[in-house]
Amino acid sequence: MNYLRHILSDRLWSLIIKEVQQILHNKQIIFLLLFPPTVQLLIFGLALNPAVTHLSLGVVDYSRSADSRALVSALVENQVFQVQTYESRQGDLENQVRTGQVTAGLVIPPDFSQSLARHQPAHVQVLIDGVDANTAGIAQGYMKQIIQRHTQTLNAGQRLPVETEVIFLYNPGLLSSWFFVPGVIGVVLTLTGSLVSSTTVIREKDVGTLEQLLMTPAAGWEILAAKIAPLFVLLMGDVLLASAIGRVIFGLPFRGNYGLFLLLSALYVLVCIGIGILLATLANNQQQVVLISFFFNVPLIQLSGAIAPIESMPPFFRALSFFDPLRHYVQIARSLILKDVGVEALWIHILALSVFAVLFLGVSINRFRTQLS
């Protein structure tokens, strides 16, 4: 029995050595592990910002009074709106909204100033290009808010009955990058992990060495374990790289236990490798595996809440997102990076990730021996 164990570990060792040597000979894989994650993190972290500024505004001012000018300057004051054109006729403004030259239009009637002077409600008309529903919504919100506040300053003294005083917890500056970067770390691990692991497996199939490998006494799990071990180490390097970028460039607070974060990231890396290997056993060649992983990765990312909030999804997709491993990792990453929570708050996600890891790797190992038939 002892002798047998010795042979087994010997065989696994040879397999691992071989994988490591192949990775060392393959510059492409090192590039794949370093370059895309860095670029993706920087692009998502720096460029993705849901706040809307500098909306182009067209104005038709029939009133031509100090009051109307005061309203317009209130609108452009905090750079949310920017006056693009002054038109003399409402028709021209409508045309500009239609052709997309301006996003919003403001029509101030001739009796604006007079109405204000008579302490009667004055009416202004706002035209908003609703094609980009999100921006339109935000523009409408801002417009209402600004006009309301402007009205308040006009009848100073009269205060509103309830005033809200909001305190933002965990992300006091409401930095959007704090929201995105932990999610993008998950996205990067998913893309890189599944791609790198599927290519190392599919390459054996492409070249024809897989047949030879399957003919050796090595068991399916040994072959896969040998493939997973070096990739796991490399992808954990990616986790460290990503958290370094998050800390240094985006100033993420990492309030939770960093050890726990690494441990759970390791679990997620196993899930990603599992996805990659599973795809590789399904596909017949490199091209196929890349196309299939596109098919899987895009919905995986969309449903995860890494980029678009889960709260904005219809109920069906919200339920579906529970079967998305990335969603659980994103939740874990955000909680551990931005808040200081422990396992007790995350156990459901940890359980889900464990189930996914066991499922993907288990199915891969099972399929591995029979995939040639």
Q: How far is the CB of 218 from other proteins (least distance, A)?
A: 5
Q: How far is the CB of 94 from other proteins (least distance, A)?
A: 53
Q: Which residue has the tokens 């874990």?
A: 332
Output 128 or 218, the one with its CB closest to other proteins. 218
Question: Both tokens of residue 236?
Answer: 């954990």
**Residue from 21, 148, 285, 366 in contact with other proteins (CB under 8 A):** 21
Q: How far is the CB of 23 from other proteins (least distance, A)?
A: 10
**Residue from 121, 157, 217, 259 in contact with other proteins (CB under 8 A):** 217
**Residue from 75, 102, 218, 278 in contact with other proteins (CB under 8 A):** 218
Helices 176-207 and 27-47: crossing angle, nearest 10°?
160
- Position 172 contacts other proteins (CB under 8 A): no
Return the HEC string of 302-371.
Answer: HCCCCCCCHHHCCHHHHHHHHHCHHHHHHHHHHHHHHCCCCHHHHHHHHHHHHHHHHHHHHHHHHHHHHC
- Position 207 contacts other proteins (CB under 8 A): yes
10 Å CB burial of residue 288 (0-12, 13-18, 19+) is middle
- Closest Cα partner for 64 from 111, 18, 96, 20? 111
- Position 219 contacts other proteins (CB under 8 A): yes
Contact window for other proteins (CB under 8 A) among 56-64, 126-134, 207-215, 341-349? 207-215
- Position 135 contacts other proteins (CB under 8 A): no
- State how far the alpha carbon of 221 is from the alpha carbons of 12, 229, 269, in Å: 10, 12, 18
**Residue from 49, 152, 155, 216 in contact with other proteins (CB under 8 A):** 216
- Position 18 contacts other proteins (CB under 8 A): yes
**Residue from 121, 161, 172, 208 in contact with other proteins (CB under 8 A):** 208
- State how far the alpha carbon of 248 is from the alpha carbons of 86, 228, 240, 307, in Å: 45, 30, 12, 21
* Sites of contact with other proteins (CB under 8 A): 7, 10-11, 13-15, 17-18, 21-22, 25-26, 207-209, 211-212, 214-219, 369-370, 372-373
